[in-house]
Structure formats: structure tokens, C-alpha cells
């Protein structure tokens, strides 16, 4: 007998350098598989147990991913949204960065 475990991929938020991002995942990535976040950051998938995760401290939200997610889902975006401020800054943050662990 098997115990099926269903994962809601919409609730999977990859953490890179202490920031949690959003990605358009169609399946659970394999360890080492490259993931591209909505903000353009790429990183290799890695898995940890919750205890190890807690030792790293709480991640902060990637506002660039949040901005893309809100636009794609028609969610209101306040003018003071941190992602908009970065987007308007010269060179805008969060585009095309690559992080590997």
C-alpha cells in the first residue's frame, strides 16, 4: 500500500539567499534541476527538512516575484509596492540574476 502525498506547486516558494521566490513549476523539480523564478533569478533545486530550514531563519519575500505574480493574476498593486520602486530604478533589480548553491 502506498501513501500518496500531494503537493500544491502554487505553495512551493524556492528560497535563494534568504529570499523566497515564486516560480511556474509544472512538477516537483529534481535535486540539482535549474529553476527560474518569476523575477529571473535562477538556481539549482535543493531540498531540506523543516528543522534545517528553521535554523537559517525566516526568509523574506522577493518583491520582484510578487510584482510579476500580481500582474499575472490581476491582483491590485499599490503604487508604493517595493517591486515597482526597484523596477523604476536604473538597472532595476532582479532581472537575469543567477544563483547556484
Q: At 57, is the secondary structure helix, strand, or coil?
A: coil
Q: At 37, is the secondary structure helix, strand, or coil?
A: strand
Nearer to Zn ion by C-beta: 43 or 62?
62
Quick one: which of 14, 21, 23, 29 contacts Zn ion (CB under 5 A)?
21
The Cα 101–Cα 9 span in angstroms is: 21
Q: Shortest CA distance to 100 belongs to which of 35, 11, 49? A: 35
Quick one: which of 39, 43, 67, 83 contacts Zn ion (CB under 5 A)?
39
Quick one: which of 14, 62, 67, 69 contacts Zn ion (CB under 5 A)?
62
Nearer to Zn ion by C-beta: 19 or 50?
19
Amino acid at each position: 500500500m502506498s501513501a500518496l502525498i500531494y503537493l500544491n506547486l502554487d505553495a512551493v516558494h524556492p528560497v535563494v539567499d534568504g529570499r523566497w521566490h515564486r516560480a511556474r513549476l509544472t512538477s516537483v523539480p529534481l535535486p540539482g534541476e535549474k529553476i527560474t523564478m518569476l523575477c529571473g533569478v535562477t538556481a539549482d533545486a535543493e531540498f531540506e527538512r523543516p528543522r534545517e530550514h528553521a535554523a537559517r531563519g525566516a526568509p523574506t519575500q522577493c518583491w520582484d516575484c510578487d510584482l510579476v505574480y500580481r500582474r499575472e493574476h490581476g491582483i491590485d498593486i499599490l503604487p508604493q509596492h517595493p517591486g515597482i520602486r526597484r523596477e523604476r530604478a536604473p538597472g532595476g533589480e532582479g532581472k537575469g540574476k543567477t544563483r547556484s548553491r
